[in-house]
């Protein structure tokens, strides 16, 4: 597998000249195309800040970040916006679906400014909905769906632009155990189909759905380790520790 993400001595500091708050302290790692990686750490560890930088939502302060060999620090705001729209898909804890809007319309949203026919957009959205097993809910409104179904719609929306990476930030946080396991099994299936998946979580049993865990504490990587196949299969089967 080729290297998709390469980070070297990455730091992030918020604030101004008077008050500065360091959040990330010289992180270095690589993620290959097709990997399933968890970024795990307690609240305040810096994991969400790191995801925002990797997902082109924020800029690093010092260090280097290369995406598919491209130096992200050299990109303009317009180029970053292009990367966000075309190279990554996001799944958040809060679903972020539009109310009183159908599943199809929600999934089509990332295609709003893409130059293609409306019928082509519908086809892409319908295919993404099919991939998450919700074709039978295509014309349902978001407020008619269960929590697990809403998160599936959010995943379909993240897939519709065929991104290089899916970022999932605490994707099971608002779900019951059964729905949460189903969502993690779906992300695992998408990874099996070749998608790179980066999961952000504070829970060990959720992190172990991935094949590798980057453990972050106080803005530093304290461990970078493979998940044993025994633990991963137990997590996928919902056999919580």
Show contacts of 80-86: CB within 8 Å, 24+ apart. Answer: 80/56, 81/56, 83/56, 84/55, 84/56, 84/57, 85/110, 85/113, 85/161, 86/161, 86/163
Across the range 200-218, mean pLDDT stands at 93
Question: What pTM did the predictor assign?
Answer: 0.92
Question: For residue 240, what pLDDT is reported?
Answer: 54
Tell me how crowded residue 184 is: count the other CB atoms within 10 A of its CB: 24
pLDDT category of residue 239 using cuts at 50, 70 and 90 = low
Decide if pLDDT at 160 tops 90.
yes
For the sheet containing 3-15, what is the strand order?
20-32, 3-15, 62-67, 70-71
Point out which residues pair with 25 in neighbouring strands.
Answer: 11
């Amino acid at each position: 597998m080729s290297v998709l993400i390469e980070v070297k001595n990455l730091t992030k500091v918020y604030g101004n000249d008077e008050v500065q708050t360091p959040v990330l302290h010289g992180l270095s790692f690589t993620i290959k195309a097709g990997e399933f990686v968890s970024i795990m750490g307690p609240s305040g560890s810096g994991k969400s800040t790191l995801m925002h930088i990797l997902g082109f939502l924020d800029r690093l302060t010092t260090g280097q970040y290369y995406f598919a060999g491209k130096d992200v620090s050299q990109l303009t705001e317009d180029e970053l916006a292009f990367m966000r729209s075309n190279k990554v898909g996001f799944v958040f804890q809060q679903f972020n679906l539009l109310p009183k809007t159908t599943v199809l319309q929600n999934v089509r949203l990332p295609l709003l400014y893409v130059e293609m026919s409306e019928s082509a957009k519908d086809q892409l959205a319908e295919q993404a909905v099919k991939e998450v097993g919700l074709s039978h809910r295509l014309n349902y409104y978001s407020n008619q769906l269960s929590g697990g179904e809403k998160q599936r719609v959010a995943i379909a929306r993240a897939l519709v632009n065929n991104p290089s990476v899916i970022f999932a930030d605490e994707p099971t946080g608002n779900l019951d155990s059964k729905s949460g396991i189903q969502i993690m099994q779906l992300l695992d299936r998408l990874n099996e189909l070749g998608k790179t998946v980066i999961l952000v979580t504070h829970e060990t049993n959720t992190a172990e759905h991935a094949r590798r865990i980057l453990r972050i504490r106080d803005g530093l990587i304290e461990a970078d380790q493979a998940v044993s196949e025994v633990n991963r299969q137990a997590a996928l089967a919902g056999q919580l520790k």
